[in-house]
Amino acid sequence: MTTIELPSRAPAPPPLAPAPAKPSVVGLTRARLAEALSEAGVPERQLKMRAAQLNHWLHNRGAASFDAMTNVSKDLRGALAERFTLARPEIVSEQISVDGTRKWLLRLPAQGPRSRPAEIETVYIPEEGRGTLCVSSQVGCTLTCSFCHTGTQTLVRNLTAAEIVGQLVLARDRLGDWSGRAAPEGAVVPGDGGRFVTNIVFMGMGEPLYNLDAVRDAVEVMADGEGLGVGRRKITVSTSGVVPEMRRLGEETGAQLAISLHAVRDELRDVLVPINRKYPIAELLEACRTYPGASNARRITFEYVMLKGVNDSPAEARELVRLLKGIPAKINLIPFNPWPASPYECSDWETIEKFSEIVFRAGYASPVRTPRGRDISAACGQLKSETQRMRAKERLALAAE
C-alpha cells in the first residue's frame, strides 16, 4: 500500500473555523448554477444558457479555473471569480492499495460559524471494464448497525449535494478522468478506453435515505449527459431500510436500489440493523415489491454480510431465497470486513461457499463480493474518519441552529 500525503495538505484547522468567505460552484445543480449566475449579474433571459455552459465547463471538462472557460466573456469570468471559487473537497490523504483501490480522506469546510470542518472517505475500485466510486452521503451515520465501523462514529452531519458530487469531481481530477487527460503513471484504471469512473455506489459513510434531498440533487448532477454523464442505471443507492423514503428515491432519482438485508429473521435483524425495529423485514420487502422501476432488467440488490455463526447457516440461505420470491432481485454476499475491536468474525470460506451454492441453485448468479482494498481499510463498513469527537456543548449549539 502507498500513502500519499499531498503537498496541499493544510495544517489542522482551529476547533471552530469560520465559514469560507467564497462558496464553490463545483457540484451545483443547473438551478443552483443559475442562481449563482444571477448573483454575478447575468440577466434572466440568459440564465438557462449560461448555466448549461457552466455545467459543461465544471462537470464535463473539469475546469480548474474560470479563465479556462474560453467561451464565457472576460467580464463574466471576472464577476464569477469575485464571488465564487472552483474549490473541490480538500484531500487530507490518498491511500493506494496493492490491488489498485484508492481511498481518499477528504476535509469539508465548516457550514456556518458554529460548525467545524468535517472529514469523510471516498473509495475508487477499478475492475476489468468498469471503475466504481463509492461515495459518502453523511459524515458518520446516525444508525448503529453492530457490524459497521461507520456506525460507531459520533460526529454526524448531512453532506450537501455539491459535497457529494465533489467526491466524483475530485476522483476524476486525481485519476485524470476528464477528456484530453490521462491517468497518472502506475494508476490502475479499466483498460478498455472508456471512462475511469463508470459507476457510482452510495455505499460509503452514511444512510443516503436520511439525506434524500441532497442525494436526489447529487444524482441529477452526476447523471447529466452534458456534464458528469454517469447514467442513472449506473448509480446505486444503498439503504439499511428507511421504508418511507424508498418510493421517493425511485420516483425522483431513477437510481438502482440496494438493500442491506443481512438477516432473514426480525429478532436477528433488530440487532444487526437496528432500524429494523421501526421497519421490519415484511414492510421492507413490501416496499421493494412496489419500488418504482424495478424489473428483471433492473433488479434490486440485496446485500448480505457473512457473519460467522450469526447469520450464515444453510437454513438461513433457504429462507433468504424464500423471502425474495417474486422480487426482481440480485444477491450480494459480502464477507465481513473486520475493524479494530469489531464484535464479529467473517464466516469460513466453506460456509460462504455452501450458502452461495444454495442461493446459486435458486437462480441467483455470482453472488460473493471480493473484498477490495483490505490493506488500506477501504472495504465496505470499514470507513470511519478521524473527526469524530465533538463536545456535548458544541453538539447542542449545532442542534439549536
Footprint of ligand SAH (CB under 6 A): 145, 147-148, 203, 207, 238-240, 260, 303, 305, 334, 336-337, 380-381
Residue showing cell 464569477: 80
- Rounded to whole angstroms, how far apart are CA atoms 233 and 126? 18
CB nearer to ligand SAH: give 94 or 207: 207
The grid cell for 168 is 466524483
Q: Shortest approach of ligand SF4 to residue 279 CB, angstroms?
A: 12
Residue showing cell 453532506: 159
Q: Select which of 90, 119, 121, 303 is catalytic.
A: 121
Say how many C-beta atoms besides its own lie within 10 A of residue 373's C-beta.
Answer: 24
Q: Shortest approach of ligand SAH to residue 165 CB, angstroms?
A: 18
Q: Select which of 145, 288, 346, 380 is catalytic.
A: 380
Of these partners, ligand SAH, ligand SF4, none, which one is at the site of residue 305 (CB under 5 to 8 Å by kind)? ligand SAH
CB 104 within 8 A of CB 174: yes
Residues forming the site for ligand SF4 (CB under 6 A): 141, 143-145, 148, 150-151, 206-207, 240, 260
- Rounded to whole angstroms, how far apart are CA atoms 216 and 225? 16
Q: Shortest approach of ligand SF4 to residue 353 CB, angstroms?
A: 25
Of these partners, ligand SAH, ligand SF4, none, which one is at the site of residue 236 (CB under 5 to 8 Å by kind)? none
CB nearer to ligand SAH: give 53 or 137: 137
Helix (H, G, I), strand (E, B) or coil at 377: coil
Of these partners, ligand SF4, ligand SAH, none, which one is at the site of residue 189 (CB under 5 to 8 Å by kind)? none
CB nearer to ligand SAH: give 42 or 134: 134
Residue showing cell 460456509: 351
Scored b (16 or more CB within 10 A) or e, 229-266 reads ebebebbbbbbbbbbebbeebbebbbbbbbbbbbbbee
CB 255 within 8 A of CB 212: no
Q: Shortest approach of ligand SF4 to residue 150 CB, angstroms?
A: 4
Sorted by sequence, the CB contacts under 8 Å of residue 189 that are 6+ apart come out as 126, 131, 175, 177, 183, 196
Among residues 205, 213, 120, the alpha carbon closest in space to that of 170 is found at 120
Active site residue 121: yes
Of these partners, ligand SF4, ligand SAH, none, which one is at the site of residue 303 (CB under 5 to 8 Å by kind)? ligand SAH
CB nearer to ligand SF4: give 25 or 145: 145
Q: Shortest approach of ligand SAH to residue 145 CB, angstroms?
A: 6
CB nearer to ligand SAH: give 30 or 157: 157
Active site residue 394: no
Enumerate the active-site residues.
121, 380
